[in-house]
Chains A and B, each alone.
Chain A
Amino acid sequence: MIRRLALLALLVALVAPTGSLAAEPQFRMSDIESELMCPTCQSRLDMSHSPAADRIRAFIEERRQLGWTEQEVKDALVADFGPAVLAAPPAEGFGLVAWLVPLLAVVGGMAILIGAVALWRRRSPPVPAAVGAAPAGAAADPAIEARIDAALAALDDAER
């Protein structure tokens, strides 16, 4: 009999910590608050002090103390306030659009930019040889050189 009682006490001792762990908070308030919206003020929950936001915070804290996970709390809030209570839309169903549109816009914008630059480069007229820099070692036009020399000589004469 004593042995059975001792065994029972041992089992209770082993089970007790597990039971108390189940009610341990699974997440931090600051983490979930930044991922939720205040439904009445259209700002993030951690930036709102409206009565509705205060009540939602109290609801979260109550559930947190009961050992709910962050996802369970979010699911409960979405059930009452709709998906708009989430700061970031879920990456599924219609919410996926909110993730894909910016991505497609960036990819599409880059494609348009690259295409436009390629088109302009192909269509732009060749740079005239006289305007561009002469290739290294290439001989300059003798006529132009003669005119430059004459102009420089005239400038020197004028300075004297």
Chain B
Amino acid sequence: MAEPMKIRATMAGDVADIKVLMNHPMETGQRKDAKTGQLIPAHHITEVSATLNGKTVMEAEWSGAISKNPYLGFKVKGAKAGDKVTVSWKDNKGETNTADAVVA
């Protein structure tokens, strides 16, 4: 069901630069199907959370106005190489996905 998610976390000084690429259609619910003229139902990520070694560092709420196959970049101070980054999302249909990566 859930497509893979890519996470890359690299150290720059004492700050971990974390980049996440998710796979999601991000339908706003406002687009119409070109053939039928029917509205395509909304299907987008609503919540994203990230933890570093189990401690929450970022929690986000999204609308459907985040681009398809979302990209997210954030930075965490005080991280070090070998730390574990976990990113999870949940969409408006209740689907979820989680992936983790090790800070390099």
A binds B: no
Which B residues form the contact surface with A (CB < 8 A)?
A: none
Which A residues form the contact surface with B (CB < 8 A)?
A: none
